């Protein structure tokens, strides 16, 4: 996954944009655009979407501190990336928004469940303790999931904007030569 200078700059800016969007929406608990960006960037850039994603994760750690809560970030967002990578590259235009929104929402609804194994390891929870932690977080996961569903309306327009700005056609191939 060798990067051009242009890609390095674009991915750094996209990672910073993801981070800035999270900070801008912090007044709304569990509502953010990280899932939207992760899905859209994965659809457009495939494997290379990991660069802006981990730039976001690194910036989050720098800003808020590399503490125990940060460790699950190393895999939680990669799970969403991986699920999107498993989706067919070509879907009918009418199906794309529904599928992308559903995947984004499911990640929000399952966020606490995905986070729970690391919580159990970090704090010595047994299986019952981990399940209790998941259940206690269900209201927050519900807000997260519904927030991702609503914000998911932005995924397909964001994909189009990124492709247009980056000169990538709907086939996924660059329409203009990369300088």
Q: Which two tokens stand for residue 125?
A: 């929870």
Per-residue pLDDT tens for 79-102?
A: 999 999 999 999 999 999 999 999
Q: Which residue in this structure is represented by tokens 């259940």?
A: 135
Mean pLDDT for the stretch of residues 49-58 = 98
Q: Which residues, 6+ apart, have CB-to-CB distance to 151 below 8 Å? A: 31, 32, 33, 35, 36, 104
| 170 vs 118 pLDDT, higher one | 118
Mean pLDDT, all residues of the chain: 93
Assess contact for 71 and 29: CB atoms under 8 A. no
Residue 168, pLDDT score: 74
Distance of CA 173 to the CA centre of its chain: 23
- C-alpha 5/C-alpha 67 separation (Å) is 32
Rounded mean pLDDT of 60-66?
A: 96
**CA 43, CA 109: separation in Å to the nearest integer?**
21
> What's the DSSP call for residue 169?
-
pLDDT band at 1 (very low <50, low <70, confident <90, very high): confident
As a whole number, mean pLDDT of residues 56-60 equals 98
Q: How far apart are CA 119 and CA 24, in angstroms?
A: 27
pLDDT value at residue 167: 83
Query: Which pTM does this prediction carry?
Result: 0.92
Instruction: Name which of 139, 145, 169 is nearest 35 in CA terms.
Output: 145
| Model confidence at 127: pLDDT above 90 | yes
pLDDT above 80: residue 178: no
**35, 148 in Cβ contact below 8 A?**
yes
Distance CA 49, CA 65 (A): 24
Share of the chain above pLDDT 90, in %: 91
pLDDT of res. 15: 98
**How much is the average pLDDT of 112-130?**
95
What pLDDT digit, counting tens, does each position of 34-44 carry? 999 999 999 99
Crossing angle for the helix pair 96-109 and 138-151, nearest 10 degrees? Answer: 160
């Amino acid at each position: 996954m060798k990067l051009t200078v242009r890609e390095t700059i674009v991915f750094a800016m996209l990672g910073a944009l993801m981070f800035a969007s999270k900070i801008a929406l912090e007044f709304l608990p569990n509502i953010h655009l990280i899932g939207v960006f992760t899905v859209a960037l994965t659809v457009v850039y495939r494997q290379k979407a990991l660069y802006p994603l981990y730039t976001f994760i690194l910036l989050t750690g720098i800003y808020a501190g590399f503490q125990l809560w940060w460790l699950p970030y190393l895999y939680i967002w990669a799970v969403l990336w991986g699920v999107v990578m498993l989706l067919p590259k070509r879907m009918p235009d009418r199906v794309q928004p529904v599928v992308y929104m559903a995947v984004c929402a499911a990640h929000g609804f399952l966020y606490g469940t995905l986070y729970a194994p690391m919580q159990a390891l970090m704090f010595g929870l047994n299986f019952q303790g981990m399940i209790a932690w998941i259940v206690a977080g269900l209201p927050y996961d519900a807000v997260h999931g519904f927030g991702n569903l609503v914000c998911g309306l932005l995924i397909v327009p964001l994909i189009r904007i990124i492709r247009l700005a980056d000169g990538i056609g709907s086939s996924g191939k660059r329409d203009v030569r990369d300088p």
